Structure 1
Amino acid sequence: MPKILKQFLTFALVGLCGTGIQYLVLWLGVAWRGDSAAVSASAIGYLLGSVANYLLNYFFTFKDQHGQKSHREAAAKFYTIAGLGWLLNTGLMLLFVDMLAWAHWPAQLLTTAIGLLWNFAGSRWWAFRHPASA
């Protein structure tokens, strides 16, 4: 199996943890505050899930790629990518749910798929990339 495919599959599996956290917060937010809370609950869940994703990706998905890269450098880059991903997630949820009146679950599923591609590319080619492999 090509290394990039193995990394992508590991990244996606690791991402299930963060996505599970995000979806739980979305579900709880909508159950507690109604459909009007879908965008904010998704945004909060994304932030909480990103903590689990960083740690799992640092120690498992990209462990052979970051070499001696410090947590300070890797985390700063990862959270830059995640911050832009958060903007993407929140913007797409606003578009789909508030502007286009989609149901929040189909909107979140599509948004998650788009975010997966963004986050993998940024993590692989920037956040966890060791300078020697550039």
Structure 2
Amino acid sequence: MTTFPSLLRLFRQFLAFFGVGLAAAVVHYGLLIGLVEGAGADPIPATLAGYVAGGVASYILNRRHTYGSDRPHREATWRFALVALVGFLLTWLFMHLFVDALGASYLPAQVVTTGIVMLWSFLAHKAWTFA
């Protein structure tokens, strides 16, 4: 049975994850927009490059501020990378679907994709990467 204090801890942890996600999103979206608007890159590879750059920021900040993990880096890093790989593939899949198949603008498509991948990442990191 879940108690109120454990739900409150989970909510606080999710808020920390969301804050870290905002910082990582600034990195991700900054690179995405810079590559598309500044360099004329295709949005799909540009968002994948942004995802990787944001992922590095996410690992560093989530390890310390969200999960307070003491799991050694040699264990947490490969776990984080595996979860990130699934997120990378989800990013590619949904951006391809929204932008290429449905013709959506890349920024609104990225916002929806970010929400989907954020939920996946939070649950996977909580249950496995930093558990």
**What is the TM-score normalised by the length of structure 1?**
0.89
Partner in structure 2 of residue 25 of structure 1 = 31
Q: What residue is the counterpart of 1:3 in the other structure?
A: 9
Quote the sequence identity (%): 38
Unpaired runs of 5+ residues, structure 2, are none
Equivalent residue number for residue 39 of structure 1: 44
Is 1:16 aligned to residue 22 of structure 2? yes
* Equivalent runs, 1:62-81 vs 2, <5 Å: 62-63=67-68, 66-67=69-70, 69-81=71-83
1:98 corresponds to: 100
Show the counterpart of 2:114.
112
How many residues are paired up? Answer: 125
In 2, the alpha carbon distance for the partners of 1:33 and 1:87 equals 24
In the TM superposition, residue 33 of structure 1 has moved relative to its aligned partner by: 4.0
Once the two structures are TM-superposed, the CA of residue 19 in structure 1 deviates from its matched residue by 0.8
TM-fit CA distance, 1:55: 0.6
Could you list the runs of 4 or more consecutive aligned residues of structure 1 that deviate by over 2 angstroms after TM superposition?
A: none
Q: CA deviation at 1:80?
A: 0.5
- CA separation in 2, counterparts of 1:98 and 1:51? 27
The CA deviation string for residues 73-102 of structure 1, in whole angstroms up to 9 with x for no partner, is: 011111110110010011110110011100
Paired position in structure 2 for 1:48: 53
CA deviations over 1:4-51 (Å, ceiling 9, x no partner) = 1111110010111111111011111111344x6111110000001100
Q: Residue 124 of structure 1 corresponds to which residue in structure 2?
A: 126
RMSD: 1.2
